[in-house]
Chain A
């Protein structure tokens, strides 16, 4: 039986690498939002509930809106 925090941290690593590997900035912003939300779940499991809900509001909410707004003001295309 895999511990649940190890499973979630593996998903965090996969989504973090995926956010950097996707060749589309809007897709990278959405995968980065999933990364932030999975990281917030990992912190809630580790007992840091205050850090977890701040990350859910600020990391997964506000920074995704910042990224999407920046992509809409610039361009979606990227070379890497």
Chain B
């Protein structure tokens, strides 16, 4: 217990990742406006990207780039223990592109919903759908 608390304080990236992810989840579930739900979804996605970038980080690590020449003559990080792990970075590069595509499609659907119902609030849309079904 005594060495757990400094460990939890040193890994503050994961706490902030958890806080951001739960903020996004709360916005997706509890917010009433459709654009606010989409912003919450994007916060959720960036929180997961923050988690992956955090697990790749090494204290004192450099970028995996060989300076000046290469072919044995250059200097830079050669051993895998000396540079930051680039595999999660490449995975999250794809995730960023996917997230902006998802946001574009979601906003286009929100515009279509607004043209159909004249509002972006979820309860108003549900009310209109129920009154139309009741007729």
B125 at interface by CB-CB < 8 Å = no
Q: In whole Å, how far is A38's beta carbon from the nearest beta carbon of chain B?
A: 10
Nearest to B24 among chain A residues (CB) is A16
Given contacts A28-B35, A80-B31, A80-B32, contact A73 B89 (CB under 8 A): no
- Residues from 53 to 78 in A contacting B, C-beta threshold 8 Å: 54-55, 58-59, 62-63, 66-67, 69-71, 73-75, 78
A6 at interface by CB-CB < 8 Å = yes
Given contacts A32-B39, A48-B56, A67-B35, contact A16 B111 (CB under 8 A): no
Nearest to A8 among chain B residues (CB) is B16
Q: In whole Å, how far is A66's beta carbon from the nearest beta carbon of chain B?
A: 5
A39 at interface by CB-CB < 8 Å = yes
Which B residues are in CB contact (< 8 Å) with A74? 35, 110-111, 114, 120
